[in-house]
Amino acid sequence: MGFLGGAYLWVLALHVIFVIFLMAALFMMPRFFVYHQECEPGSPEIDRWIDRENKLRSIILNPSIVLVWVFGMVLAAHGGFWLDGWFLVKLALVIGLSAYHGWVIGYMKALRRGEHRLSGKKLRLLNEVPGLATIAIVILVFVKPF
């Protein structure tokens, strides 16, 4: 099984490392949005939140999602999981998290324009999406219920 040989554990470790980075950023960004929205319009604090959001996006969030996908696809090819039920559900959840990532970036841009589309309460609830997806993904990967 697989073509990675001795590199398998390294690729797996890198995949997990970048999943952790990605999840941390996906947890942090909606919190940043809450604090950003609570700032007085036109205040210097808004510029500081925009800078923080940009750094989180460019240094952690975007590079991590790319590397998660690259290492994940290599692992899937190595294991030949493409038709396994657990993998297909996991893949659907990862696609959903990727869409959530896109939403996060879009909301960040909207905040930059001064648009506050959601309340702090809704942003805090949306902050739970990555956590719930993570629970399901970890169970699928380790338990492989189907």
Element spanning 87, H or E: helix 85-112
Say if residue 78 carries a ligand binding annotation.
Answer: no
User: Could you please report the per-residue DSSP string of 98-120?
Assistant: HHHHHHHHHHHHHHHTT---S-H
The first and second tokens of residue 75, run together, are: 């692992």
Which is nearest to 33 in space by CA: 137, 106, 91, 88? 106
Query: In the chain, what's the furthest Cα-to-Cα distance?
Result: 58
Q: Is 116 assigned a ligand-binding role in the annotation? A: no
Annotated binding site for heme: 15, 90
Annotated binding site: 15, 90
